[in-house]
Chains A and B, each alone.
Chain A
Amino acid sequence: MNIDLSRRGFLRLAGAGVAATSLGALGFGEAEAAEAAHVRAFKLATTTETRNTCPYCSVACGIIMYSKGDVKAGEKAELLHIEGDVDHPTNRGTLCPKGAALKDFVHAPTRLTQPRVRRPGSDRFEEISWDEALDGIARAIKDDRDENFIAKNDAGVTVNRWTTAGFLAASATTNETAWLTYKTVRSMGIVGFDNQARV
């Protein structure tokens, strides 16, 4: 959700107005212009504000993200700042030490940016393309499922399960990711399926 005129932007304009008016009243016309010229634009004034929720615990505090660029407009957007959302009924603008440092998670040096593979016995990851990775994974799924799928149990009852593969789903992803994951995993007959509910 993007807001046309951010609160920060509003404050900057209002502040500059006050400075100009009071200096003008004192008869410093030129100084007024000089003053206005060197008031540094507030950093967040030109940013896009986006509403999100903290991805850590289940309090799900509202946050406002400030970015240079607008994702909705198809622009490249760089996250500059995160703060608590004062409109949110649960946290009312506050954040804990984890939420307050969220930006560093987004920009962590250990963020992954490239598909990689570690070959059997190797001591390093190698960069690979998405196509290579996804084709490799699809082939591994197909081959193992075809080899180990249990259509009927020993008593001849149809059971259609696949137990030699398992999937741990992420409890910080969206419902929408979870539903698509559910469809994919269940359609294959995987029963070793779990999430962080227990840990």
Chain B
Amino acid sequence: MTNAWTDIKNTDLVVVMGGNAAEAHPCGFKWVTEAKAHRGAKLIVVDPRYTRTASVADYYAPIRPGSDIAFLMGAIRWCMENDKVQWEYVKNFTNAALLVKDEFGWNDGLFTGYDEEKRDFDKSSWDYQIGDDGYALTDPTLQNPRCVWQLLKKHVDVYTPEFVENITGTPRDKFLTICEMIGECSAPDRTMTSMYALGWTQHSKGGQNIRGMAMLQLILGNIGVRGGGMNALRGHSNIQGLTDLGLMSNLIPGYLNIPTEKEPDWQTYMSTRDFKPLQPNQTSYWQNYSKFMVSFLKAMWGDAATAENDWAFEYLPKLDVPSYDILRMFELMDQGRVNLYFCQGFNPMLSFPHRGKITTALSKLKTLVTMDPLETETSNFWQNHGIHNDVDTASIQTQVFQLPTTCFAEDEGALVNSGRWLQWHWAGATPPGQAKHDTWIMAQIFQRVRKLYQEEGGAFPDPIVNLTWNYEDPNEPTPEELAREMNGKALSAVYDTADDTKVVAEAGKQLSGFGQLRDDGSTMAGCWIFSGSWTEEGNMMARRDNSDPDDTGMFLNWSFAWPANRRILYNRASADMQGKPWDPSRKLIEWTGEKWEGYDVPDISPTAKPSEVGPFIMNQEGVSRLFTRGMMRDGPFPTHMEPFESPMANVFNPKMRGNPVARIFESDAARLGTSDEFPFVATSYRLTEHFHYWTKHNVVNAALQPEFFVEISEELAAERGIKKGGRVRVWGKRGEVWAKAVVTKRLRPLICDGKPVHVVGIPLHWGFMGAAKKGFGPNSLTPFVGDANTDTPEFKAFLVNIEPAAEEPVA
């Protein structure tokens, strides 16, 4: 989230699209209720199903799963055509005025540079025209046909209300009503917030769905302001923290990157990371990359990381592919090329697509290690449970170690919430039996592996034997020690960058923030964006002062928010070119004539003059991007693409299936279904009473929504002869499930391209372990393909067929 849960009360309009906050984030959604009750805010929901969020909306419109880009580009077109633009914001705070290379263009649903063979674009034309001074050329009047604004206008021209209706199935009048409601928020004193979740990410073009809304929010001037923002409602309690800490194939904590084979040495790696500003006077904060990176390497390898050995850069693995994401790893596993796999609090057998493939892949491992407080299907994948897990146990040669861990109640430490608050929590219960903290388990594994390397030698032992492990009890590092390590400290005296006689941090002291990080080896920090969370003042994450002066919703003394305790990202954009708030009643920060001050920590140098320095300090341009250059694999603007399994061909290019640059493995491409065989669109979702596959271990939650079902319209039920509450079989190209049919008015057929499209809703929760009745999940059916940029699997739009089935025999 750019903003915080408590900030939602400041909004005038909430758009929930690509999420279902009332069910998946009920207590966060209460801030929508607050805005409606006390501010008169309105709520719009756009969703294939009439969800519980929709049931309290002021306006609801249905949409065909996987067609959101057409809707969003249509909304942008409508705003541009009807002058619903926050012009001063667009001109000064976005790249609307920057000129793009003449070679760039779009045709037949594809941007310039497409290579069908490689399934990739040559992105060299997707960039600015650069002048002799090294800065991008601009036209502040926005008239030049090569400026971003004119190119965007041209790009969205095709997305007329008729086109949108035809693609999305959203009735034209409903679409236009929503455009009008959204358009009102272009006024400087009206804000709209976007709340989305996996309903947008789990598509083969998920990143572009989100880009679409972010662009709309920029055009309306709603980024960086109270009650505005792009608010990703993260799923798990610490998914934000784990992403921040880079527990992904290609990441280093704080959104730094693992090097590729093309960057095998420090100089080459850093040569593409100078982040030179593209406009005069701009901050381009990533220019400090080397400080974050060296401090990270010092945190990892301490004295073994020196200027002479390029900070032990050699110790980092180098990637030969963009990432070894989950889909790639299970593909490799299925090919027998993975031997050992760890699942720490993770149940891939139910949460990854194409369950049949996941099962055969796990069966090819030599060793599987699971660490979890609860039984998981993954840990028990080798057990036969009849139709719910029909495997041949004896033939599965995988050895499984099942390690019992503690749960939240027995554990201490911090989680990062969706609004980037690092909140500390304390242990209040003794672990059951021999269950152990995950920190103890990881320390034990590491200590034993290191000992083996020390005693026996072996393959490149250096990064293991030299890993910093100076904890008081090496067998169980404490949460405090680890938190202090992430924050960072001075290894030797740290000097002021403006005055090298002035010491800002003495050797051994905790750093007060990432501004004190250096690239000369004098500092270490595990995760630069967490710097400031455990300073010499103590544990900032444990702060519990819930005062909120003038009820802004900022709560600056409650816990710690990254970066730098900032509650709303890009908050300098809440004020105009003179530094005055766009809306005085919603002031966030303002320019006093000498400095920035206000309710939030300014997201800009406190003395940066408002007329000189742009608000988007992380970007080389200093402004936000309506056009993303070559930063996304599938285009600098979002363009409509169909899901890989779709009832319609792409109207721009009927030959094009799904996202033209999304990676799909050969065996999976052969297992894509078509609408001749599987005429109905399915989508997955979650229920209020359930949390993924986890709450099925709770009798209470299991009883509240006891049995696996699928949701269909009355029209589809009639067409297929399905009775309310009857048993059905749902099948697709990759598997089949049996379920109760919930026949409902919440789903209605949509008319797309003149033909009815039926949607089948498939909730997730059930498996074969725990207190709940055995059942299935959507992953038995979903395709093994992901987003072109992130490889997030396409769970939200795929094809199935459905028929009545014989009732289950009564036991």
Contact of B757 with A by CB under 8 A: no
Contact of A21 with B by CB under 8 A: no
Contact of A183 with B by CB under 8 A: yes
CB distance from A191 to the nearest CB of B (A): 5
Contact with B along A59-90 (1 / 0, CB 8 A): 11110011101011000111100100001111
Binds A, one of B22-30, B607-615, B745-753: B22-30
B348 close to A168 (CB less than 8 A): yes
A112 close to B404 (CB less than 8 A): yes
Binds A, one of B171-179, B413-421, B631-639, B668-676: B413-421
Contact of A111 with B by CB under 8 A: yes
Contact with A along B762-806 (1 / 0, CB 8 A): 000000011100000000000000100011110100000000000
B344 close to A115 (CB less than 8 A): no
**Residues of B contacting A137 with CB < 8 Å?**
367, 369, 401, 445, 448
Contact with A along B416-457 (1 / 0, CB 8 A): 111001110111111011111111011111101101110010
CB distance from B479 to the nearest CB of A (A): 4
Q: Which of A1, A56, A67, A104 contacts B237 (CB 8 A)?
A: A56
**Residues of A contacting B415 with CB < 8 Å?**
53, 55, 60, 172, 174-175
**Residues of B contacting A130 with CB < 8 Å?**
434, 436, 444
- 29 interchain pairs, CB-CB under 8 A: A55-B408, A57-B234, A58-B237, A60-B415, A78-B430, A82-B409, A87-B544, A90-B417, A91-B30, A97-B26, A102-B409, A104-B701, A105-B695, A111-B697, A112-B375, A115-B402, A117-B399, A137-B367, A138-B445, A145-B459, A153-B261, A165-B340, A168-B346, A175-B486, A175-B530, A179-B526, A187-B463, A191-B324, A193-B247
**Residues of A contacting B373 with CB < 8 Å?**
111-112
B464 close to A112 (CB less than 8 A): no
**Residues of A contacting B412 with CB < 8 Å?**
174
A55 close to B248 (CB less than 8 A): no
Contact with B along A110-135 (1 / 0, CB 8 A): 11111111111111010000100111
Bound complex: CA of A180 vs CA of B440, how far in Å? Answer: 10
B246 close to A182 (CB less than 8 A): yes
B248 close to A182 (CB less than 8 A): no
A-side interface mostly:
mixed
**Residues of B contacting A71 with CB < 8 Å?**
427-430
Bound complex: CA of A188 vs CA of B460, how far in Å? Answer: 9
Assess A115 versus B315: contact at CB under 8 Å? Given A60-B421, A175-B413: no
A184 close to B442 (CB less than 8 A): yes
- The 10 lowest CB-CB distance pairs between A and B, nearest first, are A170-B345, A113-B433, A174-B413, A50-B428, A112-B404, A138-B448, A60-B417, A96-B26, A58-B234, A161-B317
Assess A197 versus B383: contact at CB under 8 Å? Given A114-B404, A117-B399, A181-B442: no
Binds A, one of B83-91, B159-167, B686-694: B686-694
Assess A196 versus B407: contact at CB under 8 Å? Given A95-B27, A101-B698, A142-B458: no
A198 close to B326 (CB less than 8 A): yes
**Residues of A contacting B182 with CB < 8 Å?**
none
A112 close to B338 (CB less than 8 A): no
**Residues of A contacting B235 with CB < 8 Å?**
57-58, 171, 196
Nearest CB to that of A109 among chain B residues?
B771
Contact with A along B358-392 (1 / 0, CB 8 A): 00000000110101111100000011000000000
**Residues of B contacting A173 with CB < 8 Å?**
238, 242, 344-345, 411, 413, 438
CB distance from A36 to the nearest CB of B (A): 31
Bound complex: CA of A91 vs CA of B486, how far in Å? Answer: 28
B401 close to A189 (CB less than 8 A): no
CB distance from A114 to the nearest CB of B (A): 5
CB distance from A86 to the nearest CB of B (A): 10
Tell me which of B333, B338, B344 has the highest count of chain A C-beta atoms within 10 A of its own C-beta: B344
Bound complex: CA of A154 vs CA of B448, how far in Å? Answer: 32
Nearest CB to that of A93 among chain B residues?
B27
Bound complex: CA of A12 vs CA of B320, how far in Å? Answer: 66
B429 close to A181 (CB less than 8 A): no
B482 close to A105 (CB less than 8 A): no
Bound complex: CA of A142 vs CA of B486, how far in Å? Answer: 28
B-side interface mostly:
mixed
Bound complex: CA of A61 vs CA of B418, how far in Å? Answer: 11
A175 close to B416 (CB less than 8 A): yes
CB distance from B4 to the nearest CB of A (A): 8
Contact of B400 with A by CB under 8 A: yes
A89 close to B558 (CB less than 8 A): yes
> In chain B between 200 and 244, which residues have their CB closer than 8 angstroms to a CB of chain A?
201-202, 233-244
A57 close to B236 (CB less than 8 A): yes
Bound complex: CA of A25 vs CA of B526, how far in Å? Answer: 67
Assess A134 versus B448: contact at CB under 8 Å? Given A60-B423, A65-B429: yes
B261 close to A160 (CB less than 8 A): no
CB distance from A111 to the nearest CB of B (A): 5
Contact of A22 with B by CB under 8 A: no
Contact of B718 with A by CB under 8 A: no
A176 close to B402 (CB less than 8 A): no
A54 close to B237 (CB less than 8 A): yes
A166 close to B324 (CB less than 8 A): yes
**Residues of B contacting A161 with CB < 8 Å?**
317-320
Q: Which of A90, A133, A171 contacts B345 (CB 8 A)?
A: A171
A174 close to B411 (CB less than 8 A): yes
**Residues of A contacting B351 with CB < 8 Å?**
196, 199
Assess A191 versus B317: contact at CB under 8 Å? Given A55-B408, A71-B427, A180-B442: yes
Q: Which of B316, B483, B698 contacts A176 (CB 8 A)?
A: B483
Contact of A33 with B by CB under 8 A: no
Contact of A31 with B by CB under 8 A: no
Sample of 13 more A-B contacts, CB < 8 Å, known A56-B695, A97-B688: A53-B237, A54-B237, A56-B691, A57-B691, A58-B417, A61-B27, A89-B548, A98-B690, A173-B438, A177-B413, A179-B245, A186-B317, A197-B239
Contact of A192 with B by CB under 8 A: yes
CB distance from B706 to the nearest CB of A (A): 14
Contact of A194 with B by CB under 8 A: yes
Contact of B395 with A by CB under 8 A: yes
**Residues of A contacting B791 with CB < 8 Å?**
198
Interface size range of chain B in the complex: 35 or more
Nearest CB to that of B695 among chain A residues?
A98
Bound complex: CA of A188 vs CA of B316, how far in Å? Answer: 9
Contact of A18 with B by CB under 8 A: no
Interface residues, chain A, CB within 8 Å of chain B?
Answer: 1-2, 48-62, 65-67, 69, 71-72, 76-79, 82, 87-91, 94-99, 101-102, 104-106, 108-123, 125, 130, 133-142, 144-146, 148-149, 151, 153, 157-199
**Residues of A contacting B240 with CB < 8 Å?**
58
**Residues of B contacting A91 with CB < 8 Å?**
27, 30
> In chain B between 451 and 490, which residues have their CB closer than 8 angstroms to a CB of chain A?
451-453, 456, 458-460, 463-464, 467-468, 477, 479, 482-483, 485-486
Bound complex: CA of A66 vs CA of B409, how far in Å? Answer: 10
A151 close to B337 (CB less than 8 A): no
Bound complex: CA of A40 vs CA of B188, how far in Å? Answer: 60
B426 close to A51 (CB less than 8 A): yes
Bound complex: CA of A145 vs CA of B463, how far in Å? Answer: 13
CB distance from B792 to the nearest CB of A (A): 4
Assess A170 versus B404: contact at CB under 8 Å? Given A114-B433, A160-B460: no
**Residues of A contacting B441 with CB < 8 Å?**
134
Nearest CB to that of B421 among chain A residues?
A60
**Residues of B contacting A168 with CB < 8 Å?**
326, 341-344, 346, 348
Nearest CB to that of A118 among chain B residues?
B400
Contact of B124 with A by CB under 8 A: no
Nearest CB to that of B395 among chain A residues?
A121
Bound complex: CA of A105 vs CA of B432, how far in Å? Answer: 12
Contact of B679 with A by CB under 8 A: no
Bound complex: CA of A144 vs CA of B452, how far in Å? Answer: 13
Contact of B257 with A by CB under 8 A: no
**Residues of A contacting B486 with CB < 8 Å?**
175-176, 179
CB distance from B565 to the nearest CB of A (A): 15
Nearest CB to that of A82 among chain B residues?
B409
**Residues of A contacting B446 with CB < 8 Å?**
183-184, 187
B236 close to A194 (CB less than 8 A): no
